[in-house]
Amino acid sequence: MTTSANRVITVARSLSEMGIRPEQMQTHAIGNTQTANHRLDEDNDRSVVLWVLPKVYFEPIIKPDLPRPVPPKPKVSRNFKIAMLLEVDGSISFAARAAIKRIVKGRAGAGIAFASALFSIWDTENNLKCTYVYAAVGLGFGLTLPKTGGRSGTLHGPWNSFTTEKPISCSQFGKSMRFTTIGIGDLSKNWILLETPRGVKDVYLSISTGTTIGGGASTYPAHLSAFVPLERPKPFGGP
């Protein structure tokens, strides 16, 4: 054990002369407690084990005082166009349905109406477009054609121009919309009330829609509807 301790001291002194600091070393003498075969003179037992751990030093990273990135200012406009891409509706009948059926030979119904639709709003100044999904519950009277399953729908409609009180982005309309429709086929009248950001007057206008498969009249109040953008504004070159 004495020989082992002297050997450890000698190695530690040599390491210190090489620049290794004392707190980086743990010196342990083990004597003959872990010898290979306990013979008095064995070359394998005259050894020193060094476990070398790197000295880690983290250089502080000095970040330059860069200005905070400012997101690009959204493009706004007062001139827009809106078009209905697709609309599907249906109704859950109540007592009035039976009477209406007798009048129109079973092809009509009245009751609680459900509507879902896709709209596009086009910023004609910046050539940007945003697509919205519309869903609502209201009251309606529907006239359906045979084999339509009691539902009516409207295909892609024309673009309808409108202006806003102040410039806004084409993605800032909603979160609700009041929608009223009446008609059949290409003969229809539709009125919408678009919600706008606070400080900007809501937009109320009459719009033309596409050909309706079926017909009838429905109204959907704003508080029972959702009008939500599906995407960020995208470049749009026109229809």
Contact of 171 with 131, CB cutoff 8 Å: no
As beta bridge partners, residue 117 has 87, 134
Q: What is the pLDDT of residue 96?
A: 40
Number of H helices, E strands in the chain: 2, 11
Would you write out the chain's pLDDT as a tens digit for each of its 239 residues? 888 888 888 988 898 888 888 877 888 888 777 766 656 666 666 677 777 667 677 777 787 777 888 878 889 999 999 998 876 655 444 444 444 344 444 444 456 777 788 899 999 999 999 999 998 888 766 554 444 444 455 566 789 999 999 999 999 999 999 988 886 656 678 899 999 999 999 999 998 876 555 556 788 888 889 999 998 899 998 87
Tell me, what's the pLDDT at 108?
42
Q: What is the pLDDT of residue 202?
A: 96
Tell me, what's the pLDDT at 101? 45
Task: Compute the C-alpha angle 21/14/19, nearest 5°.
Answer: 35
Return the structure tokens found at 128.
Answer: 């940007």
Strand blocks (E) in 9-50 = none
Residue 146: predicted pLDDT = 45
pLDDT at 131: 93
Parallel, antiparallel, or unpaired: how do β-strands 177-185 and 160-168 relate? unpaired
Rounded distance, CA 51 to CA 77, Å? 71
| DSSP conformational letter for 100 | H
Alpha carbons 140 and 218: distance in angstroms, whole number: 4
CA distance linking residue 204 with residue 82, whole number of Å: 12
Question: How far apart (Å, rounded) are the C-alpha atoms in residues 202 and 79?
Answer: 14
Burial class (CB in 10 A: 0-12, 13-18, 19+), 116: middle
The reported pTM is 0.59
- pLDDT of the residue at 155: 60
Q: What was the pLDDT predicted at 107?
A: 43
